[in-house]
Amino acid sequence: MRQDKIRNIAIIAHVDHGKTTLVDQMLRAAGAFHEHQQVAERVLDSNDQERERGITILAKNISIEYAGVKINIIDTPGHADFGGEVERVLKMADGALLLVDAAEGPMPQTRFVLKHAIACGLSIMMVINKIDREGARPEDVVNDALNLMMDLGATDEQLEFAMEHVVYASAVNGIARLSPDDDGNDMLPLLDMIVDGIPAPEVDLDAPLAMQCVTVDHSSYVGRIGIGRIYSGVIHAGEQILVVKNDGSRSTAKVKQLFTFDYLGRKECAEAVAGDIAAVVGVDGTDIGDVYTDPENPVALDPIEIDPPTLSWAAASSRTASRPSARTT
């Protein structure tokens, strides 16, 4: 069955093409902020390094509520050094917003993440941003993006979907339009297209629980927090679950706290259902790839491959010696 009240979307964009500004405006359009509330710009850039450099390093989740539908927005790391994380977080999505500058067109960083999104079979919706920019050529950029998708192996279905789902935006002005020449002055056409166009999750609520951890957060109060998508069944706070690790080892754990994403934060809940993205507290030592499932009727999911550390060489200032330093991807 389709979980009609949920949409899971990833956002793909090159640096400076306006991803965080677009998300800010989507939040505002959906009523996430109270009137007169002071809100920092670029809410997705949550750590100091990201704010300073204006790039997305770590994947993050937020959600908005619009027209009775919960839209989970998955921010993707844009740098190739984080390719493993890109592949993992895209597993939580059913569709993606391909955000492209109306003047610059698709750029290398766009290509990298888009290739993974296409390989995952996601439905790709195009958002041509900065249509008010000098030198904007929105129609040409649509064709450039479609050509890129073809080069990256998009199916006929993905290409047809992308052609039929295009929004022209000026995120800085809070505008999204179905045509560059429309006179619309809000973001609602984008939200409507997400709700009406992006496929709802295909789930079985009556099947045994199956949830997979794709990212791990940490709290000094509760320890490690496993975050991932629920593929089937329902998970409840307080229940015993079976934890199956990538190597096949098994243990049981109690769900001490359960959260779903609610606008910019997390909301504690008694249960979370298939199709949604949840955060679980109580699985000691949880790691990427862990499957949370029913102890009596366990469900097997494909393990997640974890990229090995990448070695980078730091040259000494004298350039007479160099030494390896590990950078975990």
And the tokens for 287?
A: 């790691």
Q: Of residues 205 and 87, which shows the higher confidence score?
A: 205
The string of pLDDT tens digits covering residues 275-317 is: 999 999 999 999 999 999 999 999 999 988 765 544 443 443 3
The residue among 56 and 156 whose pLDDT is bigger is: 156
User: What mean pLDDT comes out for the span 92-106?
Assistant: 95
> Phi and psi of 126, rounded to 5°?
-100, 135
For domain 210-293, give its CATH number from 1.10.10.10, 3.40.50.2300, 2.40.30.10, 3.90.1150.10: 2.40.30.10
C-alpha 295: how far from chain center: 29
Per-residue pLDDT at 29 exceeds 80: yes
Q: How far is CA 134 from CA 101, 103, 158, 228, in A?
A: 11, 8, 30, 41
- The average confidence (pLDDT) of the chain is 85
- Cβ-based neighbours of 284, under 8 Å, separated by 6 or more: 223, 224, 253
Task: Mark out the alpha helices in 120-223 (DSSP H runs).
Answer: 138-151, 156-164, 188-197
pLDDT at 33: 67
User: With contact defined as beta carbons under 8 Å apart, do 70 and 6 qualify?
Assistant: yes
Please state the three-class secondary structure of 228-282 as a single string. EEEEECEEECCCEEEEECCCCCEEEEECCEEEEEECCEEEECCEEECCCEEEEEC
**pLDDT confidence band for 49 (50 / 70 / 90):** very low
Asked if 75 contacts 99 with a C-beta cutoff of 8 angstroms, the reply is no
| pLDDT on residue 213 | 96
* pLDDT over threshold 90, residue 272: yes
Domain residue spans in the chain?
A: 6-197, 210-293
Amino acid 312: pLDDT: 43
Whole-angstrom Cα distance, residue 180 to residue 162? Answer: 17
What is the C-alpha to C-alpha distance for residues 180 and 163, in angstroms, rounded to an integer?
Answer: 15
pLDDT in tens, 143-160: 999 999 999 999 999 999
Handedness of CA 106, 107, 108, 112 (dihedral sign): negative
Beta bridge partners of 281: 225, 257
**% pLDDT > 70, the chain:** 82
Cβ contact 26:61 at 8 Å: no
- CATH superfamily, with its number, for domain 6-197: P-loop containing nucleotide triphosphate hydrolases (3.40.50.300)
Model confidence, pTM:
0.84
Report which of residues 64 and 58 the model is more confident about: 64
For residue 43, pLDDT beyond 90: no
254 bridge partner residues? 240
